[in-house]
Amino acid sequence: MYQTLEKFLKGKTNIDQETLTKICSFFKLIKTKRNELLLNYDQVSNHYYFINKGCIRLFTTSKEGVENSRYFAFEGNFATALPSFIDQQPAEEYLQTIEKSELLCISRKDFYYLVDTEPLFAKIYTEILELGFIMAQKRIYGFQGFDALDKVKWIIKYQPQLLLKVSNKMVASYLGMSPSTLSRIKSKL
Amino acid sequence: MYQTLEKFLKGKTNIDQETLTKICSFFKLIKTKRNELLLNYDQVSNHYYFINKGCIRLFTTSKEGVENSRYFAFEGNFATALPSFIDQQPAEEYLQTIEKSELLCISRKDFYYLVDTEPLFAKIYTEILELGFIMAQKRIYGFQGFDALDKVKWIIKYQPQLLLKVSNKMVASYLGMSPSTLSRIKSKL
DNA sequence: TAAAAACGTTGACTTAGGGCAACTTTTTTG
DNA sequence: CAAAAAAGTTGCCCTAAGTCAACGTTTTTA
């Protein structure tokens, strides 16, 4: 149950088995269905999820009701609505498993307890923040000045798994274009 | 010379004067001219800047040579090319003072020395990361699904100082539209 | 302080990509 | 496994916003 998580933690820092076991003991296994909502727009994020199996999507909807995908996290990664988790304001975004998934879930209280009492876990948290920051910047700023074709090429180069695992519709909403535009571009290469 | 920085640090955490003085002693004052480049596209970011006076802009250029502004930091704030500062890869962005400025500059080495030896400074760094993460997300994701008019309204609401302090051209490049579009929209209110 | 450079504004024209609809294909579920 | 629902594709048309150029204004610098 905790192998993937332990592997993830070991990959980030040198950590003994005892601490590892202690950290893992705070995570509870939950199973979710396809399209199950983990967090609603108005809710405050109070859980951090580690994905054992499946996929979590972070998205919003525009005032016209169009969905806008922000992030997809797959097996072996952490995901939550981090801004809300940090500042405890309503998330203004949704968290959802887009397929049947198995998640390890830790409450915010326990998470910060670990951050405050386990220096190694604090270090891992800092690394998660740093990495999250870098990735978000690269992803979003990377698209500045890109036209639709550039974006599709970018996704093929840097996140080809997305095209395999996620519906066209969601990829399109991730890239900020309509499904028809994505469809047209793919047919031209 | 260090008043503004001390005020910033005190605002983040309870911190005694001795530690404060020690932290400040690692910062050196530098004066820059209008449009002076602090970091080039291919360079690795090795300094963190605190702005005593003036303004730092973070920007890139597209392959066609069009400038794209990412962030403006004003008096009393920190700025650097953070992804590069963290992972020591070429920045792929520029750092520039857009007006005559006075900066307090700390080297990466000293910065991480403080993070590793002063728990309070580590805490401040985590807060800078968290805040930077939240702000970047809000800023960029906030524009998803916005047309040009929405973006201008957004900037008026959340960052009106920008319109006062920064040229139209740079604001336009920050909002991801051409200067003519921004001009046209402003004339319609 | 005068010449030069950069910036801002506006008009005419062009274009990338969105909206909608019809149709086909795939996926989901009872 | 069949019916229903959702997703993907494609054509047609339209619109928001970009480009380019001309011109006036402000800013910079020698």
Confidence at residue B170, expressed as pLDDT on a 0 to 100 scale? 96
Arithmetic mean of pLDDT, A45-63 = 93
Instruction: HSE, CB side, 13 Å, CA atoms: give it for residue A50.
Output: 23
Q: Do the strands A78-79 and B28-32 form a parallel or antiparallel pair, or are they unpaired?
A: unpaired
Residue A107 has pLDDT above 90, yes or no: yes
Token pair, residue B72, equals 């403006």
For residue B45, the 8-state DSSP code is P
Residue-level pLDDT at A140: 77
Q: Which two tokens stand for residue A121?
A: 């876990």
Please report the pLDDT score of residue B57 as a whole number.
96
**Contact: B141, A86; criterion CB under 8 Å:** no
Contact B82 A133 (CB under 8 A): yes
Q: Are B69 and B173 in contact (CB under 8 A)?
A: yes
On the question of pLDDT at A63 being above 80, the answer is no
Q: How far is A62 from chain B (nearest CA, A)?
A: 6
Lowest mean pLDDT among A76-90, A97-111, B16-30, B128-142: B128-142
> So what's the pLDDT on residue B64?
78
pTM: 0.88
Q: Would B20 be classed as within a structural domain?
A: yes
Q: Which residues on A lie below 8 Å from B176 (Cβ)? A: 144
Instruction: Report if residue A94 sits inside a domain.
Output: yes
Domains in chain A: how many in total? 1
A158 has a chain B CB within 8 A of its CB: no
With respect to residue A113, please indicate whether it lies within any of the assigned structural domains. Answer: yes
Read off the pLDDT of residues A133-162 as tens digits, 9 standing for 90 and up: 888 888 878 888 899 999 999 999 999 999
Q: Cβ separation of A138 and B83 shorter than 8 Å?
A: yes
Q: Which residues contact B112 (CB under 8 A, 6 or more apart)?
A: none
Q: Do A144 and B83 touch (CB under 8 A)?
A: no
Name residues of chain B where pLDDT drops below 70. none
**A87 shares contact with chain B (CB less than 8 Å):** yes
pLDDT of residue A157: 93
Query: B175 lies in a domain?
Result: no
Query: How long is the CA A142 to C1' C28 vector, in angstroms?
Result: 36
Binary contact (B130, A86; C-beta < 8 A): yes
Task: Confirm whether A79 is domain-assigned.
Answer: yes
* Pairwise pLDDT comparison (B39 vs A126), residue with the higher score: B39
Tell me, what's the pLDDT at A86? 93
Rg (CA), chain B: 17
A65 belongs to a structural domain: yes
For the segment A7-11, the average pLDDT, to the nearest whole number, is 94
In a domain, A141, yes or no: no
Q: Cβ distance A161 to A168 under 8 Å?
A: no
The per-residue pLDDT for B156 is: 94
Average pLDDT over residues A27-31: 95
| β A94-97/A36-39 pair status | antiparallel
Over residues B134-147, the pLDDT tens digits come to: 888 888 788 888 89
pLDDT of residue A59: 93
Output the domain CATH number for residue B85: 2.60.120.10
Nucleotides of C under 7 A from a protein CB: 7-12, 16-21, 28-29
What gap in Å lies between CA B185 and CA B164, rounded to an integer?
16
Residues of chain A neighbouring B78 (CB-CB closer than 8 A): none
pLDDT at A25 over 90: yes
Model confidence at A76, in pLDDT bands (50, 70, 90)?
very high
In a domain, B46, yes or no: yes
Which nucleotide is the nearest neighbour of A169, by CA and C1'? D7
Could you tell me the residue range of the domain that residue A62 belongs to?
Answer: 3-117
Stretch A38-58: mean pLDDT, rounded?
Answer: 95
A109 pLDDT exceeds 80? yes
